[in-house]
Chains A and B, each alone.
Chain A
Amino acid sequence: MTQNQPVTRVVDILTNAGYRHRTTPVTVASVRFEFAALLLGSERANDLIIVIDTLVDGEARIRQKVEGLSRALDLVASRRPLTVVLVGPPPRPTIVEALARVSRVLTVGTPTGDNADRFLADTLAVLLPLSLPDASEAVIDPLGEVRRQLPTDIDQDALVPLFAAAPSGTEAVQEALRELLEAPLDLDPEDTAP
């Protein structure tokens, strides 16, 4: 069993996503299969993922292994959807097409450079949990955000009526603004210009 670097990274990503790593070889319908790695879906998923290092296995061998596993699964009427993660140099398209007829094929290649992890995650994305926007993030507190944007020395008392009026609409805010502006001006009722 070869645990080379790219395979390890794929396995790490998948196990972090909740997949369970199984040791190989694994026997299906009395047939032994050996892969670079084999992972099973979480408790709420049937996935069977095999990771193949194309540097280690030749194209014919890969095809043989995958098609064999597929047939074995069929024989035992397994409902596990099969996903093949190909690490290393991508095989010829005809081989990939052949694999795709019996499984979901994810060609990882040999990601390098700064975006290697990102590329790897993108390629494996369909296997990874879908992280939805946090409900609390989606239902945002707009006025809270406004407060964060305001300078710290802002006149908080003046804001109260404005913010209170905001849910009632533009006219309510305008009215609140007008009252805010005019309130201090009414302090001098006895004054009359000569």
Chain B
Amino acid sequence: MSPSLSSVSISNFRSINGTITVPLNAPVILVHGPNGTGKTSVLSAIELALTGEIVDMQRTDANYRSHLIHWGADNSRIILDAADLATSSTIPHENIIRTDGIHGGSLLSGEVGRFFSERCYLAQATLGRLLEIYQNANPREESALTRFVKDLLGLDALDALIDGLHPAADVRNTRRLSPGYADAEAKIQAIEGRVTDNKKKLTQVLNDAMDRRVAIRAALTNLSQLPDSALGTDLPADIEAILKGSDDDRKLIALNGHRRDLASLRERALPLSATLDAHDEATAVADEQAARAAADKWRSTTGKPIELLIGELRGTFPDLPSVASTDPNTAFRTAATRIEAELQRCLRAIADDDGIIAQLEKLNQDVEQSSARVALADEQLMSITGEAEGLSRALASIIPHIHGDDCPVCGRNYHEVSSDPLVQHVSTQVARLAEQADRLQGLGRSRASAVSEQSKAERARETTVGKRLSQEARGALKARISDLTEAKRRLTDVAASVDAGADAMRREAEAQRRLSEIRNRHRLAVELRDSLAELCHILEQPALDTSETIPAAIQRLDTYVAAQEAVANDRLRRRRDASGQYQLLREQVTEIERLQKNLSSDDALKKRCEDAFAIAEHHRQTAKTTARAVANARTEIVGRVFNSSLNKIWRDLFVRLAPTEPFVPAFRLPQTSTEPVTAQLETVHRQGGSGGTPGTMLSAGNLNTAALTLFLALHLSVRPQLPWLILDDPVQSMDEVHIAQFAALLRTLSKEHHRQIVISVHERPLFDYLTLELSPAFAGDQLITVELSRSNVGASIAEPTYHNWEPDRAVAA
């Protein structure tokens, strides 16, 4: 919105008593009134309507709102009419101020309102403090100057760039800003560390491998298996076959076998430890012959009857051993034992048969006694009625039918027979018959028992009869007993000579055994010597001579084998060591390959990372350079703006109003490029060189002029959001010369730069002068002067006068 002010109607506001209306629809509004007639009230009413507040009152009294209503009135009212230049429509705005506050808001919104307060409206109180306001710029707050610079330059983007790119300047800040950057750096370092480690390891392993090759070559040389063709530290191509070579193994196995053979020979040679010679054998032969002769003699003499006797006894005992087949003692004892056993058997058989005969006699007696008892039982049974029991039961059943003495069977009167009653008689008969029945049973049992005894004795007698020896057998036994007794006697007779025979035969056997043993030892010695000779041949050792004993030869060979084994073992151990070394070498070669591969891949990775990081670093440097450029640009812009805009126009304005003042106020530029704008006020001499601060260098009047021109410079430096200048009696302390210049300046601003100017003055001559100076200069130009005064009763009066353009008749244009 680009409004132009049309009029303001003010009721009971501050010093305005009643209602006045001030027209505002002209390029210049000149308000005049003696002090106390409400000039400031009119202008502050405009500010309030436009912005909702009165800034210079706010500065001195935060509670100023409660003092806005004219004393004695209920409320205040401000009606500000504006026109939207774009649409030519009227924008009415009304504020009502009551004790509870200001109602109606503001015509201008925040930013534009602030522009009005700072750049369009110069209150009297503000003029006095303006330099102070712009001098005291606290860098930590958004000062008026900072706001001005921002309004002017829009440096926010540059500030954002400077602050935003700041981390690029210092790598530590860069790391904080960008974890990825820090990670990449760390990663490259890690890779470098790894490469260094791996290189160190590789060198170590290569050295170790070299040492190991030397060691293996030394071992191979020791084993005499390093071909001449293998030079330097190279290992022969068939190294593995060489190290695997089994010659020593085979040799060792063979030696082991020989050692076992020798051990076996030593074991076998043990019996040979006793000294043997030909004399021993001869003695043994003689002993053997003597013993055999003695034995033969016994066999042919004393032994003969014994042999004969035993030969005879073989007729009876065919399996008896002969003396020849065993020895006399055995043959004799066997024969004696067998004879004694047979003799006893025969004697027992006779005794047994005698027992059987005695038993038969007793059994016969038993049979006879049992038969007698059976006969007795039969005899008694005959005497007892066979029907006793049945008759007894029949009679008993009759008893109930006997009434009196009449017999129920025959009908006769028993009294006829006996004086006893019939019932008694029958009862007695029943009892007698029952007694007979019991006895009959007992007899039956006795008879059966006797019959059983009889038959048992008869069966036993038959069995026993069968066991009896026949007369022939019994006779033969007795004859045999006789023969055996005889043979036993004869054996007893020769018993004395049996021991002597046995002794001779034992000695004979002993001699034979010894002879045989001696002969065996001789045979063994020969065998052993043969074996040793063969072993000597196998081991390529000197053969045995006759003077060398078998143990000595065994010892000699054993020593030789042990030495050979030691050699073979040593070679084997060396080979094993070399194999172990070679195995380690192969592992190291693998390790070397692995390390080289790792190094190669790490190199590639490092290069990739470094390339990527180089781009990032390039970007960082670009950002750094850019930050510097931005800072320089900012300095450049600020400098340019201050020099070519603000200071230039301020100087221009100040010089217009104070043409004879040699010192001109100016802002001294920010010293550094990145700090917030904290320009300081100073003065510069027109001929060049800087002076002190305005306060020390300028007179009070020129200080006032400096402030006024600063305000105008600030207004003119920025794009005018509102083309208004509202000045509240700005020339109070100016002399006439300054006032004349100021008037010319106001005219320039109005006529050339199209600012709508509302200005209040309190001096009449000044008012008249300004009325002349600001008179309309061309067709359509207009000036409104407003005279403020009070009626007799104190009511405010505003009397506007409209000045229109008239062609000048004095000097033709």
Contacts and interface: CB of A to CB of B under 8 A. Distances in A.
Nearest to A191: B605
List 10 A-B pairs, minimum CB-CB distance, nearest first.
A173-B164, A78-B810, A182-B180, A184-B615, A149-B629, A104-B740, A166-B157, A79-B775, A145-B633, A133-B645
Interface in B614-660: 615-616, 618-620, 622-623, 625-626, 629-630, 632-634, 636-637, 640-641, 644-645, 648-649, 652-653, 655-657, 659-660
A180 B618 CA distance: 10
A80 B718 contact: no
Contact of B190 (A83, A123, A155, A193): A193
A138 B626 contact: no
Contacts, number: 254
B622 A104 contact: no
A176 interface: yes
Interface in A125-176: 125-127, 129-133, 135, 137-140, 142-143, 145-146, 148-151, 154-155, 158-159, 162-163, 165-174, 176
B152 interface: yes
Interface in A52-111: 72-73, 76-81, 83, 100-101, 103-107
Residue picked from B598, B645, B659, most chain A C-beta under 10 Å = B659
A173 B654 CA distance: 41
Nearest to A46: B777
B637 A185 contact: no
Contact of B659 (A83, A106, A173, A176): A106
A133 B713 CA distance: 10
B83 interface: no
A106 B563 CA distance: 138
A123 B184 contact: no
A65 to B, nearest CB: 15
Contacts of A171: 164
A72 B86 CA distance: 44
B612 interface: yes
B164 A142 contact: no
A158 B622 contact: yes
Contacts of A125: 652, 655-656, 659
5 contacts: A45-B777, A80-B810, A105-B740, A182-B180, A191-B605
A80 to B, nearest CB: 6
Contacts of B187: 193
A16 interface: no
B619 A180 contact: yes
Contacts of B267: none
B778 A158 contact: no
Contact of A138 (B163, B625, B718, B747): B718
A112 interface: no
A177 B630 contact: no
Interface string B152-174: 11111111110111011000001
B706 to A, nearest CB: 15
Interface stretch (B247-255, B487-495, B749-757): B749-757
Interface string B132-154: 00000000000000000000111
B164 A165 contact: yes
Contacts of A46: 775, 777, 808
Contacts of B637: 140, 142, 145
B180 A146 contact: no
Contacts of A130: 649, 652-653, 656, 716, 745, 748-749, 752-753
Given A100-B736, A123-B659, A142-B154, A185 B743 contact: no
A176 B157 CA distance: 14
Given A115-B687, A126-B744, A142-B634, A185 B775 contact: no
A176 B163 CA distance: 12
Interface residues of B, number: 93
Interface string B538-558: 000000000000000000000
Contacts of A43: 778, 813
Given A177-B164, A185-B616, A133 B623 contact: no
A32 B801 CA distance: 34
B609 interface: yes
Contacts of B813: 20, 40, 43
Nearest to A104: B740
A187 interface: yes
A163 B625 CA distance: 13
Contacts of A167: 156-157, 160
A115 B655 CA distance: 15
Given A162-B164, A168-B160, A182-B178, 19 more contacts: A20-B813, A44-B752, A46-B777, A103-B740, A119-B686, A122-B655, A126-B745, A132-B753, A133-B648, A143-B158, A146-B630, A146-B633, A155-B618, A165-B160, A177-B167, A181-B180, A181-B620, A185-B184, A187-B608
A190 to B, nearest CB: 10
B741 interface: yes
B181 interface: yes
A157 B171 CA distance: 22
B598 A127 contact: no
A178 interface: yes
Given A78-B811, A115-B687, A172-B164, A158 B623 contact: yes
Contacts of B153: 140, 142
A135 B717 CA distance: 8
A22 interface: yes
A181 B174 contact: yes
Interface in B183-202: 183-184, 187, 190-191, 194
Contacts of B772: 79, 81
Interface string B583-620: 00000000000000010000001001100110110111
Contacts of A72: 810
A122 B645 contact: no
A58 to B, nearest CB: 23
A90 to B, nearest CB: 10
Nearest to A156: B622
B644 A137 contact: yes
B659 A181 contact: no
A12 to B, nearest CB: 19
B579 to A, nearest CB: 32
A61 to B, nearest CB: 21
Contact of B751 (A44, A107, A178): A44
